[in-house]
Structure 1
Amino acid sequence: MKKPRLNRWQLATSLLTTLLFTGQTLACTTFIITPGATASGAMYVGHSDDGHLNDPRLIYVPAADHPPGSMRPVHFDATSIGELPEYGSFVYRRYTGSARGPGYKNPNEPQSKPIGFIPQVAHTYGYFDGNYGIMNEHQLMFGECTNGTKMGNVKPSPKHLFYSAELARVALERCTTAREAVVLIGHLIDTYGFHGTGETLPVADPKEGWLIEMIPGDETFGGLWVAQRIPDGEMVVSANELRIREIDPDNPDQLFSPRLHQVARAKGWWKPEDGKLDWLRTVSLGEYNHPYYSLRRVWRVMDRLAPSLKLSPWVEDGYTRAYPLTIKPDQPVSRRQVLNLLRDHYEGTEFDMTKGVAAGPFGLPYRYLGPYESAGDVADPKEHHDGAWQRPLSVYYCTYSFICEGRSWLPDPIGGLLWFGLSKPAETAYTPIYVGSTRLAAPYTSADPRYYSRDSAFWAFNFVENWATINYSGVHRDIVELRDPLEQGHFAAIAQADKEALALYQKNPAAATSYLTEFSVHTAEQVFTSWQAFGDRLIVKYADGGMNSPGELNHKVGYPKEWLESTDWKNGPTSYARPAAPQTE
């Protein structure tokens, strides 16, 4: 489609937006719930991509064969340390070119330029891609979150070739199991180096889950990494702080960089007489951004799944051991519970963000950040701050979130499900997409956060979430009334589609692929059109502060009495007499 000509105001706005995006950082939440902890026996990996109007496109990267001697380009990702125009990668458009299949081709945009190259393999697998690699055709799945470390904002170079996003993509292209992926990622860091910030990648297949954490290097070393297997029957959550602690060379469930102890000792971060190397304390400053920015989310997820542990939301510092790496949920976790985990604003706790003066009259849980907030994603947590908001799981600057579901009892094309939701988790509807799909619904692959488009699923969801700020308690109730039956309908449709696809697969795998693709595309298109129509209805229903319907316009809602009493309403003009001046001492 030909891009419309922009007027002077639009050009200025576009330029300002680009400048504001430059240097933007992400601050995500991610988790693994293993099969032994779930009601169905499925593996789940969840991720919220909290990047605030970054690239929201979901892209299918097809499987491919490569001739001998081919080289794979390694590209820069602006999600690491911000935009570097020399690589042609931008926050609003992460990659443009032909190396990842037709989904990223766009001759009208600047073409991405690689940092360097690594040897290519003969065959690469198909996968779903976002700002980070997501899930491949063999049910290998990833999440991600950024962490503050002593090494931060390292620029790409021949000695620091990779960032976590490209590491996940290479693993999705080449691996079928989580353990293979961890070993490959570790090898790539050791061989080619790592740039950007500290990173966590949860990686899982339908049977086994791992957490791999990494930090960038400097002129003396390329990067460091550690990995730990997540025991079956347990779960782990990461929220912008490294989670792995003691590194034990004799632990068969841990893997780590061969140079870890050598580098840590040379840097003065650790001494052998200290005992086992504490990864978090050795390479990081503790908690990310400000106190409880990370740990409160960790507490909240653990407390929701295992309230019997009676974990306290209050700890002594960012290096606390109050929250173990993994926990066993009190009850088997259902798919519905998993989809709801990232939709939380601490409702029902002392930190409930729908309560208090900052939530306004209609319980808005979102707190917009500004110039008075703490200084970004890798700030020293000991830095003084005049104030801070709670950091919820569902945050206003979320671009998209997803839940990967792996099911070992089904063939890979059928067993792997991606539940994908655009904009805030609390205001999205998760759409199921089979990993056997070889095509995605167009509204989910087309979006530019710089320009509103009626054809984009991102903008359909983004509009609804922003309209909800007019009367959050009312609009959110409307969202739930539409969203929950919609998702419940997906559950039933998936159960039937599994049966039909399996019958086809046993006779003709290609026919199953076609069926799964059409099912996924049709379902996503239905979600998009229903959400767009829903947004259109909301425009009228909440127009001008009223509650409107065809049968009754301007049904006055007003404000809750409790909130009114907290304002100067009670001192308003109820008589002609001049109010008495407040007494001073």
Structure 2
Amino acid sequence: MEHFRSSCTSILIGKAASADGSVIIGRNEDSRSSWPKTAVVHPAAHHDEAPMFKSKDTEVEFALPKDSLQYTATPEWTDKYGLFEEDGINSAGVAMSATESAYANARVQGFDPFVEHGIIEECMITVVLPYVKSAREGVRRLGQLIETHGTGEANGILFADHDEAWYMEVVSGHHWLAQRIPDDGYAVVANQLSIEAVDFDSPDFIVDAGLRTFAEENHLWRPGTPFSIRRIFGTDDPSDRIYNTPRVWDGHQLLSKQTAAAETPIDSDLPFIMRPDRPLQVEDAMRFLSRHYQDTPYDPAGRMPDAKLSHSFRPISVTATQESHVLQLRPNLPAAIANIHWLAMGVPSQSQYVPFFAGLTDTPANYKVGALPASLDSAYWQYKLTSVLVDAHPLRFDNLLGNTQDDVHAKLVALVAATDAKARTLTAADDLAQLATKATFSAAKTADEAWNKLRMKILEQSTALGKLTFKMDPNL
């Protein structure tokens, strides 16, 4: 089987670190620059007999629970290589994002190698999210599946509910653990095993029963020393300092500039858990996932002339981003409206985060389609076209792009506020589901109309910017 992994970037924010008490998780799904995504909602279901799941990728097969919850997801345009549903929120208010691909070192793989027919990224959302009612339950369900069937990859998985955010790391073929993000903290992750010292007696860690024994018996860890996942199971080499740690540094500079001032992009010991300089808005998560080292010499799309530095490090927002999501679990609102699946198709720095209220019963038509070859009935391709047009002349169109993003986002914030107010007057589940669906369709339409105008304006202005442009003789 051919496996496609997502080399992504993630963020998790605790409820006391956010301005409104939301628990927030988000991730860029980075794989290939031309590989469409869709957005769907799966209804709750009941089966008289336990349905069987079989992966088209690894061929792992097992029974699923008879009852499943409703959940949102962003599957790929084809299931040829598996489902890759990647992210979503279920009707119990649990959010999940899978996965943040990582690397386990060669010594660890020698003692517990990855398995060919196991649980991997492509099916994790599908076999976990519809069946759990808390973030902790999500960690334990996925952990049990990995212990039973093994995994073919080292990965990080994000879980959240209205009380907690958890980051789970799969560190070898059958071993895993998870750490709770402190309520007043946040974490950013970039393709590394990132959890630091584990406290086995703390309720803020969930660890598979054999992890400590496995590390001790294979002399990966010596009792009396810190049990650092990053050091025991992860990697620390020059490629990390080009590809991974600079993105973590960029996030710390954005959200904790005062306390992270002494950090550099090539530090090997950047903290996993951080405290922000200020209460964080959902826009801060979006801004982080849209970063490409703006206002630094390392920005490959910047206005600074030093070409040597501008491509030194891998940015957070890249052309290979298929979709970016921010999953916001808000307090003190009816569940259908409280949980928002903010979705940006394509490159987040050149796209728009659109609010999909998790209690919806359907998704807009252009989010349900998208394939190869490209077709402009698809939201994915609509936003990717805008990226291509902007990339051709970024200095000319960056301001126009940014103004459109800001104008649309302001309208979407107002729409969310109006939807919240309406939701507080409703009690019936059907009415709330109808409101969630209507508001989502309205949000998507607002973004679609503005971005179509943007594309046409860029197209119009680009016609005079081609290589064959020449000052014409006015007398001819």
TM surpasses 0.5? yes
Partner of 1:254: 205
My pick for the range that moved more, 275-284 or 394-403, is: 275-284
Which structure has more RCO (C-alpha within 8 Å, separation ≥ 6)? 2
Deviation of 1:225 (Å): 0.3
2:43 is the alignment partner of 1:62: yes
Distance 1:503 1:460 in 2: 36
Q: Secondary structure at the match of 2:12?
A: strand
Distance 2:243 2:88 in 1: 25
Distance 1:308 1:496 in 2: 36
Q: 1:288 to 1:342 in 2, by over 3 A?
A: farther
Deviation of 1:167 (Å): 2.9
- The aligned runs of 1:330-409 (5 Å cut-off) are 330-353=277-300, 354-357=302-305, 389-409=312-332
Partner of 2:170: 214
Distance 1:408 1:286 in 2: 39
2:202 is the alignment partner of 1:282: no
The match for 2:193 among 236, 242, 251 is: 242
Letter in 1 for 2:181: I
Deviation of 1:233 (Å): 1.1
Q: Secondary structure at the match of 1:272?
A: coil
2:138 is the alignment partner of 1:181: yes
% identity of equivalent residues = 23
Deviation of 1:357 (Å): 4.9
Q: Secondary structure at the match of 1:482?
A: helix
Partner of 2:272: 325
Larger Rg: 1
Partner of 2:69: 124
The match for 1:156 among 116, 135, 141 is: 116
1:74-120 CA distance string (max 9 Å, x none): 4255xxxxxxxxx6xxxxxxxxxxxxxxxxxxxxxxxxxx5211242
The match for 2:250 among 300, 304, 317 is: 300
Q: TM-score, normalised by structure 2?
A: 0.88
Unaligned runs of 5+ in 1: 1-20, 78-86, 88-113, 218-222, 368-388, 547-552, 557-585
The 8 Å contact of residues 245 and 266 in structure 2, kept in 1 or not, is answered as no
Distance 2:130 2:172 in 1: 23
- The aligned runs of 1:396-545 (5 Å cut-off) are 396-448=319-371, 450-504=372-426, 506=427, 508-545=428-465
Distance 2:15 2:172 in 1: 32
2:128 is the alignment partner of 1:171: yes
Q: 1:177 to 1:469 in 2, by over 3 A?
A: same
Partner of 1:576: none
Distance 2:401 2:211 in 1: 48
The 8 Å contact of residues 72 and 120 in structure 1, kept in 2 or not, is answered as no
2:25 is the alignment partner of 1:75: no
The match for 1:310 among 260, 276, 279 is: 260
Q: Secondary structure at the match of 2:298?
A: coil
Q: 1:480 to 1:260 in 2, by over 3 A?
A: same
Q: Secondary structure at the match of 1:512?
A: helix
Distance 2:378 2:39 in 1: 11
Distance 1:418 1:337 in 2: 15
- The aligned runs of 1:551-562 (5 Å cut-off) are none
Distance 1:154 1:332 in 2: 40
The 8 Å contact of residues 241 and 286 in structure 1, kept in 2 or not, is answered as no
Unaligned runs of 5+ in 2: 76-83
Distance 1:555 1:43 in 2: 56
Letter in 2 for 1:237: V
Q: Secondary structure at the match of 2:464?
A: helix
Distance 1:251 1:481 in 2: 47
1:131-178 CA distance string (max 9 Å, x none): 313222222112331001133994532xxx311442333331111211
